[in-house]
Amino acid sequence: MKDKIIAKSEQLFTNLGFKSVTMDDIASELGISKKTIYQYFETKTKLVEATASFKFNCINKSINSIFKQDINPIDEIFEMKHFILTHLNDERPSAQYQFKKYYPKIFTVLKQKQFNVMKECISGNLDRGIKAGLYRSSVNIDFISRMYFNFLVSIKDHELFPQELFTPQDLLNNFLDYHLRGICSEKGLEYLKTNHKTIKNN
């Protein structure tokens, strides 16, 4: 039952917002009493923390599966793009806003966990790309991995990137064009032109 409560809560929080969804709403959706939920979670904050951890673990598992495929580092970045796009399409801006505003401590802890995972994955990608001759040997791995994560955070900022001007697909395509052209060697750029048509070939 605990897992069912977490899964349903995560779905409701993501679609409707962390502040908007009440314990009564969750109980009603599950067809159980609110008292049953409180048997597992003392407060709504505890439930939000559990759902945030649940979602992080799911995302972390998917990301790790991409970086364990042992494929071309450039192809790996495009696999990440497809995953991020799917993830963004599942999120509601209002839900993220409420999560950050009403549960700042949980939000901060989760952001740090996300940073640690992404930094490790992108650092590994950069290292493999340099060794394969696809990325420039002068690339600063620590700096670029931090910039990559910073973009993933910024892409959700709809004041910076208004939805009426930028679709998630446009944002990711333009970012990859910017990111890869900044780190690729001549060999890497040639691979891009041949294998990934979404990158501008001029």
162's CB contacts (< 8 A; 6+ apart) are: none
CATH number at residue 135: 1.10.357.10
Q: Give domain status of residue 80, yes or no.
A: yes
Amino acid at site 64: N
Render pLDDT for 105-158 as a digit per residue (tens, 0 to 9): 999 999 999 999 999 999 999 999 999 999 999 999 999 999 999 998 898 888
Residue 143 lies in domain: 50-195
CB-count burial class (<10 Å; 0-12, 13-18, 19+) for 124:
middle
Among 68, 114, 60, 59, smallest CA distance to 87 is for: 59
Can you tell me the distance from the alpha carbon of 176 to that of 201, in angstroms, rounded to the nearest whole number? 13
Render pLDDT for 62-106 as a digit per residue (tens, 0 to 9): 998 998 888 999 999 999 999 988 887 767 778 888 999 999 999
Regarding pTM above 0.85, the answer is yes
Domain count, the chain: 1
Q: Which residues face 135 on adjacent strands? A: 184
Q: Give domain status of residue 28, yes or no.
A: no
Q: Is 184 helix (H, G, I), strand (E, B) or coil?
A: strand
